[in-house]
Amino acid sequence: MSIDLNSALSGLSLSLQSEVASDAQLRELESLLLLAHQSKLRAALQSIQSEAEVQFAAAHAALAKAQEEAQATAKAEFAQAQADAEAALAAAVALRVEALAQEPASQESASQESASQEPASQEPSMMEAVLEPVADSVQESPYELEQESATLSMQTQPEPQTPSAPAASEQPRGPQRSVNSSYASLNAGLNDRLAFVKSLFGGDDHDYQRVVAYLSTLESKSECETFIVEALQPEYDWSACPDVAERFLKLVYARFD
């Protein structure tokens, strides 16, 4: 209550104790009572407003804190989910890399197994099928080989021979001639023979003997060319020694020139 109101009420109270209140004094008293009620109402309103502001500030702070906590929780969950996804991806990549690393080993093992089983189940090559009938005719005895080597080593300069292709009635087809006569038809010296076996037939003298024996049974140059192109060259790689291959072919074709 203000100081003016207190002093007015005190003066009014003294006046009423000494004399009867006039109309003017009653109206003044009524005005003072109204002012007192207004002051009380304003004070209550200010108190309510202050309390409401405090509550509003507290609620706003609580809301902000709740939002911060929710954002922090969401960020933590997102980081955890991202870490789990990265770990799962890394594990999948590691498994794939391990599987890819094991594939060459398994393929190599499978190829080795198939290679080890292939000689038993593989069909004979074209050259093997062609030369099979003459396989038995090229088994020379040690005596024949020694005799041939001695004869060839004594030749200082072999005399070239260009035999013409014998007629079918004079030259029997098939593995009927000895290997010595087959070598003689090629006019191959001992050095040539060793070079042919080593460079053209992979060091296999038996294959060389079979090829020479079969070539000696052919009656035309075209037959020899067909056999060499379709059966012999696919079986052996002569690209590393073209000079030796050319000398061998020259001796093969010499009897048809």
Question: Domain ranges in the chain?
Answer: 3-119, 127-256
* pLDDT digit string (tens) for the chain, length 257 residues: 566 667 776 776 776 666 676 788 788 888 888 988 898 999 999 999 999 999 999 999 999 999 999 999 999 999 999 999 999 999 999 888 888 888 776 776 666 666 555 554 455 666 666 666 655 555 544 444 444 444 444 433 444 444 444 433 344 344 444 444 444 457 778 888 899 999 988 899 998 999 888 888 888 889 988 998 888 888 888 888 899 999 999 988 888 87
C-alpha span between 146 and 125 (Å, rounded): 32
What would you report as the CA-atom Rg of the chain, rounded to the nearest whole angstrom?
61
pLDDT at 53: 94
Find the distance separating the first CA and the last CA of the chain, reported in whole Å: 149
Tokens of 219: 């009656």
- What pTM was estimated for this model as a whole? 0.37
C-alpha span between 231 and 228 (Å, rounded): 6
pLDDT at 156: 36
pLDDT at 62: 93
C-alpha separations of 216 from 110, 138, 145, 184, 255 in Å: 42, 12, 18, 10, 10
